Amino acid sequence: MTKVKVLYHDNCFDGVSSAAVFSRFYKGRFDPGAVIEYEGLTHKAGQQISEDLFGPAENVIVDFKYCASDKLTWWFDHHESAFLSAQDEAHFRRDTSGHKFHDPSYKSCTKFIAHLTQNVFHYPMPDLDDLVYWADIIDGAKFPDAKTAVELKEPAMRLMLVIEASHSPQLIHKIIREVQHKSLPDVMEDSEIRSTFEKLYTHHFESIEIMRRAAKCTGGVIEFDVSGHDLDGYNKFIPYYLFPESVYSVGVSQSSVRAKVSVGTNPWTKQERRQNLAKLCEQYGGGGHSVVAAISFKPHELDNARAAAREIAEILQNDLKGN
């Protein structure tokens, strides 16, 4: 009976789905009796993953930055900014376990893991295809329009709201366990998950109105500051729903653990984009993907976050002027 510690990207549909797909794979392929413990990881300023988070046996990180620790036994990530340092990347490159994987060409880590479990480890899990499909849609922003992304009609989208906005680790871990064996509509029928959704759904529409008042769009770039509101887990597609003509968004939010700058590309823009947002945010200690990235500051560094957001917005506006 192996003890497995799975660290996943917290409050993220792709992170939760990645943890679920890996867990099903590990129990099916290696140890049906494995005892799996979960812990969410949140990007914080200057964050190093502490070895104190690891257990005595198998330690897994999914959908999050690499940790150059010999205690790490499995790793899967699809972010362009996957390594905090060149030394971390060199540590990864030296690994010969065959259990650590990185490919930023994938829109979702969930789909990346599912591909590996089927094609490298020869363990397909077709009953999880719907979960993999929706993780790829959500993390890759593959919706037909912003309205679909914001109105939350599908069970997967409703589950996304619960995952992104819930402050209960116990509920998130329950979802990780449930989606391994149940369909997404059935998971949403769970009384605790459904009641949590109903409360958050009301707040979701309130957040649209808060964003409407806080946001402006100048030169193709949306800017907003919702640090004075409880909106750390807001739906990231709301800005594009409000300003469909936009190309980029730059927002500031705040929680008890960080001040955050979120930078994104409108998934539905027809205008050519030339900025790699991961590279841009790396200049401020952040990172992510080429089309969506973020920077985390310490909670008391809100003014620094605001200054960085203004600088980035100006860079993007000037870039669009050159198109």
Residue-wise pLDDT tens digits, 305-323: 999 999 999 999 999 987 5
Are 133 and 220 part of one and the same domain? no
Are 133 and 7 part of one and the same domain? yes
pLDDT at 168: 95
For residue 141, pLDDT over 80 is answered with yes
Domain end among 120, 137, 154:
137
- 41 is a domain residue: yes
Are 36 and 126 part of one and the same domain? yes
Are 237 and 126 part of one and the same domain? no
- 177 is a domain residue: no
Domain end among 137, 170, 185:
137
* Model confidence pLDDT, tens digit, residues 76-125: 999 998 998 899 999 999 999 999 999 999 999 999 999 999 999 999 99
Instruction: Give me the phi and psi of 289, to 5 degrees please.
Output: -115, 170
Q: Which residue has the tokens 């989208």?
A: 157
Are 129 and 11 part of one and the same domain? yes
Region 274-300 average pLDDT: 92
- 33 is a domain residue: yes
Residue 47 pLDDT level (bands cut at 50, 70, 90): low
Region 53-64 average pLDDT: 96
- Which residues does residue 75 pair with via DSSP β-bridges, in sequence order? 61, 100
Q: Give, in order, the Cα–Cα distances in Å from 117 to each of 18, 121, 234.
A: 12, 5, 32
- 154 is a domain residue: no
Q: How many CA atoms lie within 13 Å of 317's alpha carbon, on the beta-carbon side?
A: 13
Q: Which of 119, 155, 125 is nearest to 138 (CA)?
A: 155
Q: Give, in order, the Cα–Cα distances in Å from 19 to each of 76, 111, 227, 313.
A: 10, 12, 30, 34
Q: How far apart are CA 55 and CA 38, in angstroms?
A: 11
Are 23 and 113 part of one and the same domain? yes
The first and second tokens of residue 69, run together, are: 């620790």
* Model confidence pLDDT, tens digit, residues 198-248: 999 999 999 999 999 999 999 999 999 999 898 777 899 999 999 999 999
Q: How many CA atoms lie within 13 Å of 313's alpha carbon, on the beta-carbon side?
A: 24
* Model confidence pLDDT, tens digit, residues 293-308: 999 999 999 999 999 9
Are 120 and 14 part of one and the same domain? yes
For residue 45, pLDDT over 90 is answered with no
Are 231 and 128 part of one and the same domain? no
Are 9 and 121 part of one and the same domain? yes
How far out from the chain centre does Cα 221 lie? 22
The first and second tokens of residue 35, run together, are: 């005892």
Are 15 and 107 part of one and the same domain? yes
How would you list the strands of the sheet with 35-41, edge to edge?
A: 35-41, 3-9, 58-62, 74-77, 100-102
What is the number of domains present in the chain? 2
- 163 is a domain residue: no
- 309 is a domain residue: yes
**In 3-state terms, what secondary structure has residue 58?**
strand
pLDDT at 272: 81
Residue 46 pLDDT level (bands cut at 50, 70, 90): low
Residue 44 pLDDT level (bands cut at 50, 70, 90): low
- 73 is a domain residue: yes
Residue 271 pLDDT level (bands cut at 50, 70, 90): confident
pTM (2 d.p.): 0.89
The CATH number of residue 289's host domain is 3.10.310.30
Are 231 and 119 part of one and the same domain? no
Q: Which of 36, 12, 276 is nearest to 177 (CA)?
A: 36
- 195 is a domain residue: no
Q: Which domain holds residue 127?
A: 3-137
Domain end among 137, 155, 177:
137
For residue 268, pLDDT over 70 is answered with yes
Q: What is the DSSP letter of 59?
A: E
